[in-house]
Structure 1
Amino acid sequence: MYLPSFNLEGKRAFVTGAGRGIGRAIAIGLAEAGCVVGLMSRTRSDLEETAAIIQSLNKGGSIVLPGDLTKRTEMEGAIAEFVSQAGGIDILVNNAGMNIRTPALEVTDDEWELIVQTNLKSAFVASQAAARYMKEQKEGRIINIASVGGHTALRTGVVYGSTKAALIHMTKVLAMEWAQYGIQVNAVGPWYFRTPLTEKLLSDEAYLKDILDRTPMKRVGKLEEVVGPVVFLASDAANYMTGQTLLVDGGMSIYGF
């Protein structure tokens, strides 16, 4: 009686940036837990690869919804189409993100706008669109994939860090405002995980050494290690949590640098 269920059988989850990397892993993990998963990113072929993996599990299911998440009409349209096909939306995972590693003195307006649109505004637009349905259902879970870089200053680019810090704060504000509707809003803050986007960086021995020197556990994360916290936040085990950010960082943030 004291062990809440992590089973998400029959739940309907929508994941942005689901075509590869962390987003793909989260989508697959949610399907393994029993969800029907809406998959959104710009590249249909990537989403179809994710969908094929989900199909092979013989659990949950998926709906491929390619689109440009920086465009409000496409984001809102994808969520509306998912609700139409799945019959509702219980879980939203705002995972899509990007970085351009430019020194602060050299950041251009175009770089600023692209990173802010992708990492922050798209998450707000998706949350707003999903919350309209969740409000009617009187329940829902929104999970934002932030970064330890939104909690601790890192040499990863001022715009990226700023958007992730804003995403963490947005998580708190939406949690406070939408609790009255039964909507819980939480976040996960990863450190380095091996993905197609980080593999080139982590193949640089000097760069990897710097990362490991900052990480008490002395390794980078495995993709399944970020999936678990997302499934937890989506499940009954997290029924009394909202406005929180779980840092999945091998202890990096406890150093405070």
Structure 2
Amino acid sequence: MKYFDLSNKVAVVTGGGRGIGKAMARALSEAGAKVAIVGRTSNILEETAVELSKETNGTVLPFAYDVTKEESIKEFVTDIHEKLGSITILINNAGKTVRKSIEELEPSEWDGVMETNVKSVYMMTRAVLPDLKEQQGSRIINIASMASEVGLPFSTPYGPSKAAVAQLSKQLAQELSPLGITVNAISPGFIKTPFNEKALENPILLNKIKNSNPMHRIGQLEELIPAVLYLASPYSSYTTGQNLIIDGGTTSHAF
């Protein structure tokens, strides 16, 4: 199991204050990495950092920055260098959606989803690349979605944004692999998180989701963790440009 030891690594998780990002930050800290969780809501980040540090007996620090703004990202990089050192692992997880039809969706809402889901991946990767180039075994993991493969009703900007993340991961893999940096995507399906827990109390919605895949159930956060640890570890040194779909078979399910 030594290959899953991330001691002496510095990992960044955008959108790390809750949900999928929080679960990934916990796993990385348990594996020995020093973890920076980044987002815009400082109180949530601070609470999560304290909680995870106690749970894992590791180092998890909050960084309240806007990952869609160049100046904010520059300030973050300076800050993390002072507090944790050079970055080895970047997980681009920050995301948002707007559930409206195309007729209802305002251009500003489209832009907001694209900025958070796609532009932040480009901006963060560009900003931390000098660090990643200097470290051995550097990793970039981008969180896409099964919506990159299928259409979801009333999620007009979300699916296209996640398809862009999946494709950008392939593009970056071609460019950065010669530098010793692997780039991969993870595409979760319907995963139970605190964000959607209340919506899943609706039995009609829950049954519809369960019937959308051959396992007939919702995924759990912990079922994403082995993929994150693998892609962050030396074991994945020959894996790049991939989009690992973890969706209970939803995207393979015809009816």
How does the TM-score come out when normalised to structure 1? 0.94
**Structure 2 match to 1:211:** 209
Matches within 5 A, 1:101-250: 101-137=99-135, 139-250=137-248
Unaligned runs of 5+ in 1: none
Q: CA deviation at 1:132?
A: 2.1
Q: Which of these residues, 21, 27, 30, is aligned with residue 28 of structure 2?
A: 30
**Structure 1 match to 2:250:** 252
Q: CA deviation at 1:119?
A: 0.5
Q: CA deviation at 1:48?
A: 1.4
The answer on whether the counterparts of 1:34 and 1:59 sit within 8 Å (CA) in structure 2 is no
Q: CA deviation at 1:28?
A: 0.8
Unaligned runs of 5+ in 2: none
How big is each residue's C-alpha offset from its partner over 1:20-54, in whole Å with a ceiling of 9 and x where there is no partner? Answer: 11111111111011110011111111111211122
The answer on whether the counterparts of 1:4 and 1:236 sit within 8 Å (CA) in structure 2 is no
How big is each residue's C-alpha offset from its partner over 1:200-251, in whole Å with a ceiling of 9 and x where there is no partner? Answer: 3211111111111111111111111112211110011211000101111011
- Looking at structure 2, the residues matched to 47 and 201 of structure 1 have their Cα atoms a distance apart, in angstroms, of 23
- Looking at structure 1, the residues matched to 64 and 182 of structure 2 have their Cα atoms a distance apart, in angstroms, of 26
- Looking at structure 2, the residues matched to 156 and 141 of structure 1 have their Cα atoms a distance apart, in angstroms, of 33
- Looking at structure 2, the residues matched to 8 and 136 of structure 1 have their Cα atoms a distance apart, in angstroms, of 17
The answer on whether the counterparts of 1:47 and 1:64 sit within 8 Å (CA) in structure 2 is yes
Q: CA deviation at 1:156?
A: 4.9
The one-letter amino acid of 1:205's match is: P
Q: CA deviation at 1:57?
A: 3.1
- Looking at structure 1, the residues matched to 114 and 151 of structure 2 have their Cα atoms a distance apart, in angstroms, of 17
Question: CA 1:140 to 1:104, structure 2 compared with 1: closer, same or farther past 3 Å?
Answer: same
The one-letter amino acid of 2:59's match is: G
The answer on whether the counterparts of 1:39 and 1:63 sit within 8 Å (CA) in structure 2 is yes
How big is each residue's C-alpha offset from its partner over 1:164-205, in whole Å with a ceiling of 9 and x where there is no partner? Answer: 000000000000001111111001000111112212321111
The one-letter amino acid of 2:83's match is: Q
Please report the RMSD computed on the Cα atoms of aligned residues, expressed in angstroms.
Answer: 1.6
Aligned residues: 255
**Structure 2 match to 1:79:** 77
Q: Tell me, what secondary structure is at the counterpart of 1:65?
A: strand
